[in-house]
Amino acid sequence: MLPSLRVQRHYPDMPLPSRGHPGDAGLDLTAMAVAPVRPGLFSVDTGISVQPPPGYYCEVVPRSSIVKTDFVQANSVGIIDPGYRGKIMVLLRYLGPGTGEAEARGLVGQRMAQLLLRRLDAVRVEAVEELEATARGAGGFGSTGI
């Protein structure tokens, strides 16, 4: 049996999150309202609250089509903890000319982010004096070439 994601809608007749194509990973989220937070930063109300199944949490990521706008998701990935029941809000930063207020209002009714259901794996955190050696070691950014 498939796990069930419970979704509460906060606007009448709004669409439920859905996949654009069968087999897509993310459920598209629609902007239902937009409010400025400060210049260039906008809070987008997705109009939903969720209850993931036991053992799961959700992530909010931008849709790939966001590149067609001058917006980026301000926090890259939003984590929706299993116990959170408030509205899912997405923070978008405007990178284009001007204030972006008209452009932000234009997002209302548009799909602009996606919701991913992820398994929550519990781990034990263990402090150690040293980690096991690997071939890569501490090689970081660009260590394998461009």
Ranges of each domain in the chain: 6-119
pTM of the model: 0.88
| Confidence bin at 106 (pLDDT 50/70/90) | very high
- Give me the CATH code for the 6-119 domain, please: 2.70.40.10
% of the chain with per-residue pLDDT over 70:
98
Element (H, E) at 105: helix 101-105
pLDDT at position 1 is 86
